[in-house]
Amino acid sequence: MTALSRLILVGALLLGAPAWAADPTVVRIGYLTRAEEPRIPLTFLEPVADDEGVQGARLALADNNTTGRFLDIGFELVETVVEEDGSVADAVRGLAGQGIRLLVADLRADALLEVMGTPEARDMLVFNSRAPDDELRNERCAANLLHVTPSRRMLADALAQYLAFRRWSTWFLVVGRAPEDAAYAEALRRAAKRYGARIVQEKGWTFEEANRRVDTGHVTAQTEIPTFTQAPEHDVLVVADEADAFGDYLPYRTWLPRLVTGTHGLVPTAWSRVHEQWGATQLHSRFERQAGRWMRPRDYTAWMAVRAVGEAATRTRSGDAATLAAFIRGPDFALPAFKGQGLSFREWDGQLRQPVLLAGPRMLVSVSPQPGFLHQFSELDTIGDDRPESRCRAR
């Protein structure tokens, strides 16, 4: 065999070799969610999705494995879906029995608290990728619970900063009937006080939502909403409708020609398809190829949770769950998340500090924190609970 032939043979063997030359260390990440009826959107422009959250986690798993193969570290996602009337506590026990020590919890607050109350969860690092409830970051916090999704106070503060920046200081607040609407409204009241805004009037939504697809649906809304939205002079109408029952009916129908913002109109959010800065279009395109739809905030936060584990493994060159958990909670952790800077967790309440997008229906309007809102440590800590405000004692 000539020297050239030997070189060709060696090259062919190398190119045909598996991605991992030896058995890699495998990091197993649990993903826990509960089955529920998919949310039916008010518009056919938004498709019904029954796979929110998990699609983001799966994309992050692929991203982790792309990088991890160079370090002989592999990642596995162990997905568990609890039935609507099933026990999340039993699911956690099952995951613990499989050796899971890193858990992404795509759960509402009540189910998440049930998880955190199990003895098995005490040995896990749990990522809250869905529940925005402020009490989870305060009175009901836990030392091993990290919050990847923004809190309601973060979202409200991000919006209030922008309104203050524009000097729109008088608000008319409309609140829905669901418990989560009341919680969002409370965060808005706090933000108004914090940033010098004044709520000139607050009204609860009392109408039964009309069927907008009947022939006279727009007539009913066009008649009722102007009368309902009569209020003292105000700069903006702020709506608290997390349940998505009526908020989309308000724009263009208010008594005064005013901007609608809050949960509808101009929306503070962790993620939006209109976000194109800092390489976000690359993440959008990869997600859409995988899922066949746009990435939603719940997908994005699950993606960040799984990516946090991957980033820690890359930085520490370790697959040990305890080592990764310690690094993620430490001062050297920074997660690249297509928001222009590395993101880290607040040590006082476990919240991931992050910029919040202010998104319109077709365009990104702004990103908070806004210019001029300064902080001695990080401007990101001007939104949400800062250290002196935190009532978390478990950390």
pLDDT tens readout for residues 186-236:
999 999 999 999 999 999 998 876 555 554 456 567 888 999 999 999 999
Comparing 48-57, 104-113, 146-155, 173-182, the range with the smallest average pLDDT is: 48-57
Query: 373 lies in a domain?
Result: no
Look up the pTM and report it.
Answer: 0.91
Report angle CA 169, 150, 127 to the nearest 5 degrees. 170
Per the CB < 8 A criterion, the answer to whether 170 and 143 are in contact is no
Do 263 and 292 reside in the same domain of the chain? no
Per the CB < 8 A criterion, the answer to whether 191 and 153 are in contact is yes
* Helices within 258-361 (DSSP H only): 280-291, 297-316, 321-328
Give the model's pLDDT for residue 216. 46
Comparing 17-26, 39-48, 203-212, the range with the smallest average pLDDT is: 17-26
Query: 110 lies in a domain?
Result: yes
What gap in Å lies between CA 205 and CA 246, rounded to an integer? Answer: 8
pLDDT tens readout for residues 256-270:
999 999 999 999 999
Do 196 and 182 reside in the same domain of the chain? yes
Do 195 and 324 reside in the same domain of the chain? no
Contacts for 252 with CB less than 8 Å, ≥ 6 apart = none
What gap in Å lies between CA 171 and CA 240, rounded to an integer? Answer: 12
73: nearest Cα among 333, 313, 303: 313
Give the HSE-up count for residue 379: Cα atoms under 13 Å, Cβ half-sphere: 14
What gap in Å lies between CA 119 and CA 93, rounded to an integer? Answer: 9
Domain range for 65 is: 13-150+272-354
Contacts for 301 with CB less than 8 Å, ≥ 6 apart = 53, 56, 129, 130, 148, 149, 270, 271
Give the model's pLDDT for residue 276. 96
DSSP state for residue 151 in the 8-state scheme: P
Do 175 and 192 reside in the same domain of the chain? yes
Give the model's pLDDT for residue 21. 47
Query: 63 lies in a domain?
Result: yes
Specify the number of domains making up the chain.
2
Percent above pLDDT 70 for the chain: 91
